Amino acid sequence: MIKLAFEMRLKDKIAIITGAAAGIGEASSRLFAAEGATVVALDLDSAGLDRLVGEIRDQGFACHGLCVDVTSSIRCREAVEWTARELGRIDILFNNAGVVHQGTLLEASEEDWDQALDINVKSMFRTCRHALPVMLRQGSGNIINTASVAGFSGVVKRGVYSTSKAAVVGLTKSLAIDYIGNGIRANCICPATVDTPSLQSRINTAADPEQARRDFIARQPMGRLCQAEEIAALALYLASDESVYMTGQAVVIDGAMTL
């Protein structure tokens, strides 16, 4: 667990975070709130959201939870509209919700393709589509997308997932170039293997979970899994004014996996 000194780097910012109830989204919600942002946490897990929001508020920070299915354009629009109406603006949109499908392309079904592209890519289109007009009116905005090293480097048996994350990189660069003249930035984070509940659930389904975990660790020459808090720290940098000269970048954080 990394230790951070809170410096209010997001003071008075309004941040929407999807996939907020666990893993990277949870760590980022906690960190963003501690750094001064008012966080609007979006997730399908209502119980997880209630726990997260309660704990953040108990610490004296600002957080709202909205139970949202990011595959629904209506629910995404409602969440963005609620944020703009109730909180007055949207400074940061962190598109983090995602799903991982295992297997080669020959092992993938049509349903796998549809779900991966819907959650990993099209959900970002939905939130951006509704948040961008707000940011354009403000003359400022910051979009962060969770991609993956799998989006540009070969990862064994991640055919559908890799394809969807490559699309996230392309989406990010498109957003950056189209809206650079409007004060809006867009960057994406490309992690290797992050120790999250999602990863653990995949490990638990393996024939030998202990060996599966060792195999996941072995992919990173650094010899360990990335922690969700480490991704949150990078997201904080991208969300803050410290990275104001960065846009259109796919930022790798991978324990040397791609070296």
- pLDDT tens for the chain, residues 1 to 259: 555 556 899 999 999 999 999 999 999 999 999 999 999 999 999 999 999 999 999 999 999 999 999 999 999 999 999 999 999 999 999 999 999 998 999 999 999 999 999 999 999 999 999 999 999 999 999 999 999 999 988 788 899 999 999 999 999 999 999 999 999 999 999 999 999 988 888 889 889 999 999 999 999 999 999 999 999 999 999 999 999 999 999 999 999 999 9
Residue 7 lies inside a defined structural domain of this protein: no
Residues 6+ apart with CB under 8 A from 148: 161, 162, 165, 168, 190, 191, 192
Residue 86 lies inside a defined structural domain of this protein: yes
What does the block give as tokens for 117?
Answer: 């592209």
Range of the domain at 112: 14-191+228-249
User: With contact defined as beta carbons under 8 Å apart, do 41 and 119 qualify?
Assistant: no
**Neighbour tally for 176: CB within 10 Å:** 19
Give me the number of domains the chain comprises.
1
The residues that are catalytic are 161
Looking at residue 174, which CATH number applies to its domain?
A: 3.40.50.720
Residue 207 lies inside a defined structural domain of this protein: no
Residue 212 lies inside a defined structural domain of this protein: no
Residues 6+ apart with CB under 8 A from 47: none
